Chains A and B, each alone.
Chain A
Amino acid sequence: MSRTSLPRSRRIAPAVAVAAVAALTLAGCSSSSGGKKSDESAGNVSAGKATTPRMTIAMVTHAPSGDTFWDTIRKGAQAAAAKDNVRLIYSNDETAADQANLVQNAIDQKVDGIAVTLAKPEAMKAVVAKAEQAGIPVVGFNAGLSDWQKQGLLSFFGQDEAVSGQALGTKLNSTGVKHTLCVIQAQGDVNLEQRCAGVKKSFTGKTDILYVNGTDMPSVKSTITAKLTQDKTIDDVVTLGAPFALTAVQSVSDAGSKAKVATFDLNKDLISAIEKGTIQFAVDQQPYLQGYLAVDSLWLYKTNGNYSGGGEAPVLTGPAFVDKTNVAKVAEFAAKGTR
């Protein structure tokens, strides 16, 4: 009840805090290296703007929030939307049932097109059919290579996870490593399991799988360290996301191992690691391209009736390799967070 049940000094605390920050700023605590000042980004992709009537497109994904890979997809979609005079409604939910509800939500909003990922194809089947009945064109991207056609989607933009895994395995064969560790950051994710299965299929050496807790980096680090200590014959680590690759490099040094590190998917920091040579190479499925093409294809379909692949074949966005030989070309785009 009483408003003064706390010591009076506590009320002053926020004011002191603000003053302290201001003082620190004035005291010239600025950094002479790094930071935003030295890193001003270049302009974004822009290629004019369509004069077609404004339309609304919904993009519904199974992405977890706050993940750098999915952020790149969204940026691609936004770039295409800006260019095509499209209002983009982006939504995401990891749970299949909730993702299906989000598609229903888009149908209720009578959008002009839907771009959807089919990570759990069976769960999405009914609602995708509903959208099609309502006359809304639907394209697939990123996940759902084996199901997009069965569910009557117009086109599909993405990589074949198994194929990209195999491509990575083949590349490993040429580097002379004998025993690789494939690190999965979310146990039971179909896409991730397919990648490691692909590696196992084409890699001529031995492939082991390791599960780590992807939401807790310190535990990712020590679990990879533990595995490298347990099996000293492991001379290569494959991770399925850029942040995990950078952590794996630390594990390798902690374990006193000589293992090399390769990864799926890119981000800005990974690029500099490839430049420095601490990471061998990355398999890039070009998420920006996936998001961009998904939105752009719906616009093309609405304005000109075109659809890529003719409903017969998927449009593959990867696997593209980024290694020391071509990293310089990618670096400037990665700095903007678009590669």
Chain B
Amino acid sequence: MTQLTAPATGSPSPAPPVPQTDGRTSERPLPLRLLARPEVGVFLGAAAVYVFFLIAAPPVREGASMANILYSSSTIGIMALPVALLMIGGEFDLSAGVAVITSALTASMLSYQLTMNVWVGVTVALLVSLGVGFLNGWMVVKTGLPSFLVTLGSFLILQGVNLAVTKLVTGNVATDDISNMDGFGQAKKVFASSFEVGGVNVKITIIYWLVFAAIATWVLLRTKYGNWVFAVGGNKDSARAVGVPVAFTKISLFMLVGFGAWFIGMHQLFSFNTVQSGEGVGQELIYISAAVIGGCLLTGGAGSAIGPVFGAFMFGMVQQGIVYAGWNPDWFKAFLGVMLLGAVLINLWVQRTATRR
């Protein structure tokens, strides 16, 4: 809120030094220009949800609860980031949810079956995840089919492969416990550790989440690659005409989703020691929702990396906030839906108001 009121007091300052050429390019007041940015709407939505739960659920006011909410948001948010970038690039990935489990299963089974240091499994899982992303992207680029179809296919393939291969290799539908193997302790430190801040236990995924978001923002706004992403999502043909490597950009975005899936997959593996092969189904929609709530258009070409951070926060906040408030659990899903719709509507209203002349 403060960051909005501050420029408002400064805006009625004297006329700008540059003379206005014509009416069409006249500068609009800064607060309105700020509001027109996609991430500001979702920021206000997230702030509204946060304030609401601060009032409705007393435990939310404690630091530990906030750390827990942020943890929940971060495991969604780390995946929502690449999913959002991919959406800005004009595609989306339905296989993102099960791809997380594919990665975790690969790392776990490889290390266990060959009795190798878990870092070997972690490395191979990264290659597998990037490979899945590459194949998704390659098929989309080569065939020109909508990514909805291609990734729906890979979603089903991965779901089946997750189950069948796990069963074939381990004889069970869950992986074996690898927590006593070499390298597990190190890997747990990297992917699933936590540290104390003022007596509050903070999970490391929160840090990764914010760092990844900062990097993604910088790449999107400050680098050539960022321009390519917006360009291929906005209009593929004109992008190609001005020399943007469309195939490279799209394939690399899919591979970025693969990277995210690997990262979250490793977090799950090293925090829970084993993985059930049936998990992850349905998560893809949550990642996509967080990106859309965060202001990424389903049609591509617009969005930000910071928007999905608030989108994921909103998801985590509502999901855990309902529990902190101690409401009747029968209504859980309905509450979640109403809160999210409400937040998205605030987001939409803010943007409409801001862009209206």
A residues neighboring B (CB under 8 Å): 5-7, 14, 17, 20-21, 24-25, 29-39, 41, 64-68, 70-71, 187, 209-211, 213, 215-219, 221-223, 225-227, 229-231, 243, 246-247, 250, 254-256, 267-269, 272, 337
Contacts and interface: CB of A to CB of B under 8 A. Distances in A.
A25 B117 CA distance: 10
A34 B179 CA distance: 8
A39 B177 CA distance: 11
Given A30-B117, A31-B111, A31-B117, A337 B171 contact: yes
Interface of B: 57, 59, 62, 64-65, 68-69, 71-72, 75-76, 111-120, 123-124, 127, 131, 159, 162-163, 166-167, 171-174, 176-184, 201, 247-248, 251, 267-268, 271-274, 276-283, 286, 316, 319-320, 323-326, 329, 332-333
Given A6-B251, A217-B279, 19 more contacts: A30-B114, A31-B116, A34-B181, A35-B111, A35-B114, A36-B113, A36-B115, A65-B159, A66-B163, A70-B173, A71-B172, A187-B332, A187-B333, A209-B329, A216-B279, A226-B68, A229-B62, A230-B326, A268-B172
Contact of A71 (B173, B184, B272): B173
A320 B120 CA distance: 41
Nearest to A335: B176
B174 A68 contact: yes
Contacts of B251: 6
B266 to A, nearest CB: 12
A216 B172 contact: no
B65 A210 contact: no
Contact of A267 (B119, B174, B181): B174
Contacts of B65: 226, 229
B111 A215 contact: no
Given A6-B248, A32-B182, A66-B279, A229 B172 contact: no
7 contacts: A31-B117, A35-B116, A67-B173, A211-B333, A216-B75, A217-B271, A219-B75
A25 B173 contact: no
B115 A31 contact: yes
A17 B132 CA distance: 14
Contact of B180 (A21, A34, A67): A34
A278 B184 CA distance: 21
A65 B166 CA distance: 12
A226 B320 contact: yes
Given A21-B124, A222-B72, A269 B171 contact: no
A227 B323 contact: yes
Given A34-B178, A218-B271, A256-B64, A67 B278 contact: yes
A230 B329 CA distance: 14
B177 A31 contact: no
Given A226-B323, A254-B68, A269-B273, A29 B120 contact: yes
A30 B111 CA distance: 8
B294 to A, nearest CB: 18
A238 to B, nearest CB: 14
Contacts of A255: 64, 68
Contact of A5 (B64, B115, B247): B247
Nearest to A256: B64
